[in-house]
Chains A and B, each alone.
Chain A
Amino acid sequence: MTTNAMTTNAMTTNAADRPTRLLAVYCPDWPVIALERPAELPVAVLRANRIVAAGHAARAEGVLPGLRRREAQARCPQLELHDYDPNRDARVFEKVLIAMEQIAPQLEITTPGRCAVPTIGPSRLHGGDRALAKVVLGRVNIALNELTVPTSGGARSTRAAAPGCVGVGIADGPRCAALAAEESVARTSGRKPLVIPPGASAEFLASLPVGWLDPDPASPLTATLVRLGLRTIGRFAALPPSDVLDRFGPQGLALHQVATGCESRQPVLANPPTDLSVLAEPDPPLERVDQAAFLVKVLAEEFLGQLAARALIADRVLVMVATADGEVLERSWRHEGELTPSAVAQRVRWQLDGWLASGRVPGGVIRIELHPQEVRSAEGVQLGLWGDHAVVRDRAVRGVARVQALVGADAVTVPEWQGGRTPAEQYRLVPFDLADPDHRPDPTDRPWPGQIPPPYPSVVWSPSKSAQVLDANGGLVGVGGRGRITAGPATCRIEHGPNSVVRSWAGPWCADERWWDPVRHRRRARLQVVLEPDGMAHLLMLEDGRWWVEASYQ
């Protein structure tokens, strides 16, 4: 019942003093901009076979986020696809942050592509919110122009002509400001900043879809709201707060406060005691981010451990770094959702990587400090953190960190589904630190056209083994242009092994891939064979008249 008392208390005070005004910057399709490719090329970034970001030229061809690789390539055959890499995104975003920093200090970053800054001081300096927003918009656009590589003619590419590069919004509270920045892109293609007057947040939000309230688009809470018929933020805001708390708990109430324009930003402890911050002093000084992997992980665990021991959580983490020449750099990261050690460690790594890559720490890093900001009591959040599974997970993650210290951070990998036709394409191994444990791409149950039917092989040869497949007369087995096999396979020999009699076989399945691309065009035919004497089954592949063993069903 303390929960009730505390939240009602928070609500009454919130009505009195408005939340902090913030300026939010939103760069749509940041993963594409971070590639630093010429703007006129159609470029898109792919994760788990889905487009997550598409550049302007690609969008003009109809390539939109959420499309599958195949659909996107069908719409735009010359599409340039890149793999999703959050490290690269963060490293390049640092250049935008440096530009912003000259206008307004106290930057806070949410994810690469999104940041915010309190307007109270800078606004006064530049003569009002609107003037500040214009200055920031101009400065960020210049920074983005510098990112785009010049085209072959040596002339500066025309990114300025590509609209919708950056949105700037000013509003009360972080979530509302972020939505204002997104709206500025949607309404004016980023040409004009959107400034919501103080106290008018609820009015601005009222007509927006309720799903935008939560930064996580797959949030079950907003999905429930939609099912209940509350499709706009305004309809949700009209509910009495006590009913919202009753039905949706503290997290629902937090969203309701955003919806009503009373976004809670007041920390329970105005200044967290200093002993909640943690520091590490690497010796010798760090000069590459991979040297810091283990250190950062330990630091992040210590940091969250101290907060958890006091039943506190922090909405922001201030990363402070001292360089060998005595300079101190700091930057604040806002985290939406549950703060896990891997999330903190990932942000610290991004930040170190950004600073090291932009040459701002010439002598190396001699001290790293993490300070919690906006500390509040852990209401309704800590339940997910303390389960039996969490204990097992912690133990495993600590073990992985020890292994990483031995073999390097990138040598410990996890399988991630990316989809594909052959067993070798369906999964790729990504470094443990890059995989997001909470949002792993999931193989969908929907069929994948052209895939070899399950069961899947337990061994996938990489590289494939060569094989020789002969018919009953000793001739090489081939597959004709119409997908017919020349003769049934009678014997098969794998690498330098013995000649085995084919007991049974199935296929051929033909795949004519990327026929529109002269370089990467591949025509292949596949066959399943079961061999004597022990009944071992293999997946054979024929390409350019040569047979290979791609995988085995052992």
Chain B
Amino acid sequence: MHESAARILPVEPVEPFAPVTPDRPASDRAATVLQLRRAVAQAGVESSPHVGAPLPVAPGLEQLLPDGALRRGTVVEVAGSPALAIALAAASIQAGAWAACVGLPTLGWSAASVAGWNLSRVVAVTPSVRRWSGVMAALVDAMDLLLIGPDPAPSAAEARRLHARARERGAVLLLVGGARSGWEDRADVRLRAVTNAWSGVGQGWGHLESVRMVVECSGRRAASRSRRIEVDLP
């Protein structure tokens, strides 16, 4: 992967490296700029040896994410719905990714198991504030996916370091729970469950069956435009 990325630039130098003269039409220049941008973006993504393919998500959830998958090295904030976080993580844990749940003592393991998590590839840790950054650094190196609960909250500097390390190692950080200190403006994608509409339950009859959730998606770059999307769980 590393080598192929390095080769991309020399392979198609014709257009990008041709001198851009003022007499060339503007549309041509725009195309060149676009091509250069693509090459840079591609090289940027692929140059880190640890960064692999994005982590897949279940078909119904692809529309929530700008790449249709969890891009490695990104921070995804999931507010208002641990169930949504479980669903987002399910496809990759099932496919072979390892995950750590940090500071999530209330996570429903039955729900996770039914959603498709392979629980033999999941560990749970609740470190103290003092140990938090050391534990997280070790986990970012080892795991593909980190589900991080609100407590304990890191300082802004710790969160920044962890994010940088996650980018380098290709881990995805899923922040489970509401807005939190330390992580301000870190999230690349923000998902917030606004309303839930449960079906299967009435006035004293039935039982909860499935939920249609309205999720507000916002974020940076490709996800900067705020959208509202309906998803069905489970």
Which of A's residues lie within 8 Å of B, judged by CB?
388-389, 392-393, 395-400, 402-403, 406-407, 411-417, 423, 426-427, 429, 432, 435, 437, 440, 443, 452-462, 485, 488, 504-507, 528, 530, 534-537, 551, 553-554
Contacts and interface: CB of A to CB of B under 8 A. Distances in A.
25 contacts: A392-B98, A393-B121, A395-B98, A395-B141, A399-B142, A400-B123, A403-B139, A406-B127, A406-B138, A407-B135, A411-B127, A427-B109, A440-B119, A454-B110, A454-B114, A455-B208, A462-B105, A488-B203, A505-B201, A530-B196, A535-B198, A537-B201, A551-B108, A554-B82, A554-B193
Given A455-B234, A459-B108, A554-B82, A537 B208 contact: yes
Interface residues of B, number: 57
Nearest to A505: B204
Contact of A528 (B111, B194, B196, B208): B208
Contacts of B141: 395, 399, 402
Interface in B138-157: 138-139, 141-144
A114 B86 CA distance: 42
Interface of B: 80-83, 85-86, 96-98, 105-114, 119-128, 131, 134-135, 138-139, 141-144, 193-198, 201-211, 233-234
Contacts of B131: 406-407
B142 A417 contact: no
A220 B17 CA distance: 61
A415 B124 contact: yes
B211 A537 contact: yes
Which one of A395, A454, A458, A551 has the greatest number of beta carbons of chain B within 10 Å? A458
A511 B81 CA distance: 29
Contacts of A426: 109-110
A534 B196 contact: yes
A416 B82 CA distance: 20
Nearest to A553: B208
A488 B131 CA distance: 48
Nearest to B101: A415
Nearest to B106: A459
Given A459-B82, A537-B196, A414 B119 contact: yes
Contacts of A528: 201, 207-208
A403 B125 contact: yes
B209 A406 contact: no
B134 A423 contact: no
Nearest to A485: B204
A427 to B, nearest CB: 4
B119 to A, nearest CB: 5
Given A454-B114, A458-B108, A504 B202 contact: yes
A535 B108 contact: no
Contacts of A429: 124
Nearest to A400: B123
Contacts of A507: 204, 207
A270 B53 CA distance: 47
A384 to B, nearest CB: 15
A460 B109 CA distance: 9
A423 B135 contact: no
Given A406-B135, A417-B113, A460-B106, A536 B196 contact: yes
A429 B105 CA distance: 10
Contacts of B204: 485, 488, 505-507
Contacts of B127: 406-407, 411
Nearest to A529: B201
Contacts of A553: 83, 198, 208, 211
B123 A432 contact: yes
Contact of A458 (B83, B125, B128, B201): B83
Contacts of B82: 458-459, 554
B124 A402 contact: no
Nearest to A427: B109
